Amino acid sequence: MKIAVFVNTPAQVHFYKNIVAALEGDGNQVFILARDCGETIDLLNELEIPFFLFSSTPDSKSGKSTSLPHDVVNAFRYLKGKKIDLTTGWGTYCTFTARLLKVPDVTFNDNECTTNAALYAMLNLTYQFTNVFVTPSSFRQEFGPKQLKVESYKELAYLHPNYFTPDPSVFDLLGISRSHDYSVLRFNAFDCSHDLGVRGLTDSDKIALVTELSAYGRVFILSEADVPKQIREHVLNVPNRRIHDVLYYASLFITDTQTMATEAALLGTPTIRSDAFVGDCDVGAFIELEGEFQLLFNLTTAAEVAAKAAQLIQDPHAKDDWQKKRDRLLERKLDMAALMVSLIEGYPASVARLKAASAYRGILLLE
């Protein structure tokens, strides 16, 4: 098969990297098309993954939406002579390009647009034009018969033990001993199209957290945006490919972003998440990770975050407890990369088989 893979964010690069490796290992030819958003291009270069840049990020958030037709045409022109059999990505770009190419499209998406009418409309439009709409089983929105809910999370395409083994040499990059406790704070820039209307922790919140946690060990900051000068010395610069090692060994992780909250929780690190999505209309995955697996806390106020952070960082058993919770989760959740490879390579017959298997919670045979 000849397969076109669209990646728009660093998380999507991670999502597809093992899928692409497996597809190529099976003799398929894969073309990767990348969008310049956040650290996406830096990560692709670090991982030495060849790609075609089909979209450069406009300066304004509104420009990201209006540039869509141009970006789709750009992708189509790159792919039209390559005899593509199937496209896959997170929708919109790959889906509309597939329509121009007249080939099937397999979309994965876990962005539940419960409070943003514009983003929900775009997601629904993607559903109308895609062939298969894959979501986690925790995804609360129902779109129709093309939706395939699977017992997994996108992060298990690269953080499942089949792919991720923590490397303790990251302590050398951090400049601390392996017995040293540390906390990680991750701040989002909120500059991608799916971040429209989203807010995170304020500068004063960030300064207060660093001050509080510094009493219990080293504090490192990962940030897409500028941080206040008072805490700039805590900013950590490590290769993007080592971020998950940093998260795995941390004693505590606090963030105002989505994906890395799930990543840290699935790595067995006590996690606190606080952003504008937290509440009654939150994403199903976060509700499940908190309520069913107790792997993270979704909090709404800075005061709640500070109080819970102080509690967790002072608990000597917290890290071991989280590792046990992670083990319980992995007993139920599936290898997402293997699932996607099976779906893509076996399309269209694989769709019916996977839908039948998904009726049995936690059981899926990948042949």
State residue 363's pLDDT score.
Answer: 40
> Strands across the sheet with 52-56, in order?
52-56, 29-36, 2-7, 86-89, 105-108, 132-136, 147-150
Tens-of-pLDDT digits for all 367 residues of the chain? 999 999 999 999 999 999 999 999 999 999 999 999 888 999 999 999 999 999 987 665 555 567 899 999 999 999 999 999 999 999 999 999 999 999 999 999 998 876 667 778 888 999 999 999 999 999 988 899 999 999 999 999 999 999 999 999 999 999 999 999 999 999 876 444 444 444 557 899 999 999 999 999 999 999 877 899 999 999 998 998 999 999 999 999 999 888 899 999 999 999 999 987 777 667 899 999 999 999 999 999 999 999 999 999 999 999 999 999 999 999 999 999 999 999 999 999 999 888 887 655 444 434 3
Q: Which amino acid is at 310?
A: A
Q: Are 219 and 183 in contact (CB under 8 A)?
A: yes
Helical H segments across 219-317, by residue range: 243-249, 259-266, 284-291, 302-313
Say which CATH class 170-330 falls into.
Answer: alpha beta
For the chain, the structural domain boundaries read 2-160+335-358, 170-330
The pTM of the full predicted model, rounded to 2 decimals, is 0.91
State residue 200's pLDDT score.
Answer: 59
State residue 351's pLDDT score.
Answer: 93
Q: Are 94 and 101 in contact (CB under 8 A)?
A: no
State residue 165's pLDDT score.
Answer: 97
> Strands across the sheet with 218-223, in order?
218-223, 182-187, 252-255, 271-273, 296-298
State residue 226's pLDDT score.
Answer: 85
State residue 37's pLDDT score.
Answer: 86
Tokens representing residue 301 in the block: 């106020």
What's domain 2-160+335-358's architecture?
3-Layer(aba) Sandwich (3.40)
